[in-house]
Chains A and B, each alone.
Chain A
Amino acid sequence: MSEAPAVTDGPVLDKPDPVLRTEGLQKAFGGLLATDDVSLAVERGSITGLIGPNGAGKSTLFNLISGFYQPDDGQVWVNGVDVTGSDPHEIAHEGLVRTFQTPRKLEGMSVREAMLVGPQGQTGESIVPLFTAPDTVREEERDALEQVQTMLERFEIDHLAHTPATELSGGQLKLVELARGMMAEPDVLLLDEPVAGVNPTLANKLAGFIRELNEEGIAFLIIEHDMGFIMDLADPIIVLDQGSVLVEGTPEAVRRDDRVLDAYLGGGGA
């Protein structure tokens, strides 16, 4: 175990305490096989990078894991619970929250309002307690507002609390998405290209925040095309190619691996 090679052929599955695990995930759209046979494991408390050339099946895999697509075959476990075929909101309750590649703008909502959607299981989300237990709703809401304030301060965007979500820049939206995901208190957060279209300064900041959150025990699985960013941040790196895991290993080793190079240079079917 301790002598594990820097790069393994295919995924490393025998991790001590995986927060997320998939086995043989397959999804076809018509005749096109988007993911063929994806098995992988994300260790609790790790920052795991997911890279691969365009069309490798990364986004499809995210959708399969988070419940937005139903797999044709294979299984997904979150915290050891089989969530295959569950709805996205059920998977979120098991502790897995995701963000989207294109940040979602919440029309008509202020930043802090959008943040308040994050917390799970709010009493005030049911109608009856709004009338029978308004005090409980008020207490929870007050706590949530405080938590939002703390989170916004932490991400250094507290000056945006009252700004309409539609007026944020792309980079600010990414920060809000990450902060909102945190409000849901997940065990593992799936980030889909967190720094796409974000300026380098903000990207650095974002990397810092992710590291900080990770030190508090939250696992990350991150799709990213910015190699500098992901190689610097994540360990291990999982490389996806043609719908299945090609290799997994440390950033340094993956960077030097010939198979990875081939995949990126369009070696593909050759």
Chain B
Amino acid sequence: MTPSLSLPSLDDLTRAERGVSLLLAAVIVFLVAAVAIGWIRAQYLLFLLSLGGMYLILSMGLNVQWGYTGLINFSVAAFFGLGAYGTALLTANSSPIAGGFNPIVGLVMGLLLAAVVAILIGIPTLQLRADYLAIASLGLAEVIRMIVLNEQQWTNGSRGVTGIPTFFEGWPVLGSLSDPFTIALADFGLVVVFILVVYLFLRRIHRSPWGRVQRTIRADEDLAEALGKNTYWFKMQSFVIGSVIMALAGVFYVHLNLYLGPGDLNPIRTFYVWVAVILGGSGSNRGAMFGGFTVIAILEGTRFLNGLQVIPFDIAPFRLLVIGILIILIMHLRPEGVLPPQKELIWPSAMGGESDE
């Protein structure tokens, strides 16, 4: 193995971090320039950035399950979909169940729905070896997609749900916005808030005794049990928290896109999120966010290049190829991901003077 698999040295870290920061800065400069020149409309750019933010949230959710605890969950798209359908069916005026609720109600119910399903799946599978959760989650993803597609009386089936309000419907000032650009700006602000809340929450629970037990379970579940940790309970917490974060991404997506169909639950989304987490560095929140950003950049960037017609053929179909090559490169050059976890999971303020080393 490469030497950098060990706790990385300071030089190594700053290099990776410097590289990532430079890259992000370059992208921002490029995007601002693109807007200034008129290559891309500011409103569309905001939409793309919001979409990217949604992937950041999804990646952080999976990072809790896989990165912290080592749980293999192949139903990212399903938990995303539970949040999305949960809020869409409560708020949309085309909802066959009970539309017209405030999006805040939709948010709460969407997250609750995901939590309940996560518990129901977790009860039988988390007591068993890791493989069983993987198998069950693979099935769950298809089951939920099939229910959405076929139970038209509840979900509108393949017609999808339309007439979804923005997230700010009914709010004092933001609710009465009608200018598309301002709404896009508000949506972007919303996803930034969501990301911050999730990130700060995760940072605190990760660098704590709780996160340490999760890391122990990932490394060796039997050992954690032998040391008196109720691994079933810890895995359940990780699974539910991760799933609820995924559902939050779904809730945001619905009120951004204002349309939701069964196609949004396609398994490819699960695949993208897995790529994002592995690419960014399993177990690291910042890594997951960087991975999510990269994946959406590839997905949407290729579409953007098509629009510019600088390349004389349709490159969108090559997206998966690009992602595939990226995975192979990462596995060869940096198997621990671009921004792997670097910290000892010790409550920071307890380490006194040495916390900043």
Q: Do A and B come from one complex?
A: yes
- Pair A127/B346 contact, Cβ less than 8 Å: no
| Least CB separation from A118: chain B residue | B227
Within the complex, the shortest CB–CB distance from A29 to chain B, in Å, comes to 17
- Pair A97/B7 contact, Cβ less than 8 Å: no
| Chain A residues within an 8 Å CB radius of B347 | 124, 137-138, 141
- Pair A88/B215 contact, Cβ less than 8 Å: no
Does B250 touch A at the CB level, under 8 Å? Answer: no
- Pair A104/B344 contact, Cβ less than 8 Å: no
| Chain A residues within an 8 Å CB radius of B227 | 89, 92, 97, 117-118, 180-181, 184
Using known A-B contacts A108-B283, A127-B205, determine if residue A184 contacts B228 with beta carbons closer than 8 Å. yes
Does B350 touch A at the CB level, under 8 Å? Answer: yes
Within the complex, the shortest CB–CB distance from A171 to chain B, in Å, comes to 18
**Total B residues in contact with A, Cβ cutoff 8 Å:** 37
| Chain B residues within an 8 Å CB radius of A124 | 208-210, 347
Does A77 touch B at the CB level, under 8 Å? Answer: no
- One of B165-173, B218-226, B259-267 contacting the partner: B218-226
Does A150 touch B at the CB level, under 8 Å? Answer: no
Give A89 to B229 CA distance when docked, in angstroms.
Answer: 5
- Pair A89/B222 contact, Cβ less than 8 Å: no
Does A60 touch B at the CB level, under 8 Å? Answer: no
Does A125 touch B at the CB level, under 8 Å? Answer: yes
Does B18 touch A at the CB level, under 8 Å? Answer: no
Give A124 to B211 CA distance when docked, in angstroms.
Answer: 9
Give A234 to B341 CA distance when docked, in angstroms.
Answer: 43
Give A180 to B341 CA distance when docked, in angstroms.
Answer: 23
| Least CB separation from A93: chain B residue | B228
Q: Which of A116, A164, A166 has the most CB of B within 10 A?
A: A116
| Chain B residues within an 8 Å CB radius of A9 | none
Does B178 touch A at the CB level, under 8 Å? Answer: no
- Pair A127/B237 contact, Cβ less than 8 Å: yes
Secondary structure class of chain B's binding surface, majority of residues = helix
**Total A residues in contact with B, Cβ cutoff 8 Å:** 49
Does A8 touch B at the CB level, under 8 Å? Answer: no
- Pair A89/B231 contact, Cβ less than 8 Å: yes
Does B6 touch A at the CB level, under 8 Å? Answer: yes
Does B308 touch A at the CB level, under 8 Å? Answer: no
Using known A-B contacts A100-B223, A127-B205, determine if residue A110 contacts B210 with beta carbons closer than 8 Å. no
| Least CB separation from A66: chain B residue | B226
Within the complex, the shortest CB–CB distance from B201 to chain A, in Å, comes to 9
Does B198 touch A at the CB level, under 8 Å? Answer: no
- Pair A89/B225 contact, Cβ less than 8 Å: yes
Give A92 to B347 CA distance when docked, in angstroms.
Answer: 24
Within the complex, the shortest CB–CB distance from A255 to chain B, in Å, comes to 32
Within the complex, the shortest CB–CB distance from B326 to chain A, in Å, comes to 23
Using known A-B contacts A110-B7, A113-B344, determine if residue A127 contacts B210 with beta carbons closer than 8 Å. yes
Does B269 touch A at the CB level, under 8 Å? Answer: no
| Chain A residues within an 8 Å CB radius of B352 | 142
- Pair A141/B346 contact, Cβ less than 8 Å: yes
| Chain B residues within an 8 Å CB radius of A164 | 6-7
| Least CB separation from B6: chain A residue | A164
Q: Which of A113, A123, A134 has the most CB of B within 10 A?
A: A113
| Least CB separation from A113: chain B residue | B344
Does A227 touch B at the CB level, under 8 Å? Answer: no
Give A124 to B207 CA distance when docked, in angstroms.
Answer: 10
Q: Which of B224, B229, B346, B349 has the most CB of A within 10 A?
A: B346
| Chain B residues within an 8 Å CB radius of A105 | 219-220
Using known A-B contacts A116-B212, A127-B210, determine if residue A92 contacts B228 with beta carbons closer than 8 Å. yes
Using known A-B contacts A89-B225, A98-B226, determine if residue A113 contacts B345 with beta carbons closer than 8 Å. yes
Within the complex, the shortest CB–CB distance from B9 to chain A, in Å, comes to 11
Give A123 to B210 CA distance when docked, in angstroms.
Answer: 9
Q: Contacts A87-B225, A89-B231, A100-B222 known; list 18 others, CB within 8 Å.
A: A88-B225, A89-B228, A89-B230, A93-B228, A106-B219, A106-B220, A107-B218, A108-B283, A112-B346, A117-B216, A124-B209, A126-B210, A131-B204, A138-B347, A139-B350, A142-B350, A162-B7, A180-B227
Listed A/B pairs (27) with beta-carbon separation below 8 Å: A67-B225, A68-B222, A88-B225, A89-B229, A89-B230, A97-B227, A97-B228, A98-B226, A105-B220, A106-B219, A106-B223, A108-B215, A109-B215, A109-B219, A110-B344, A113-B346, A124-B210, A125-B209, A137-B208, A137-B347, A138-B349, A141-B209, A141-B347, A145-B350, A162-B7, A166-B5, A181-B227
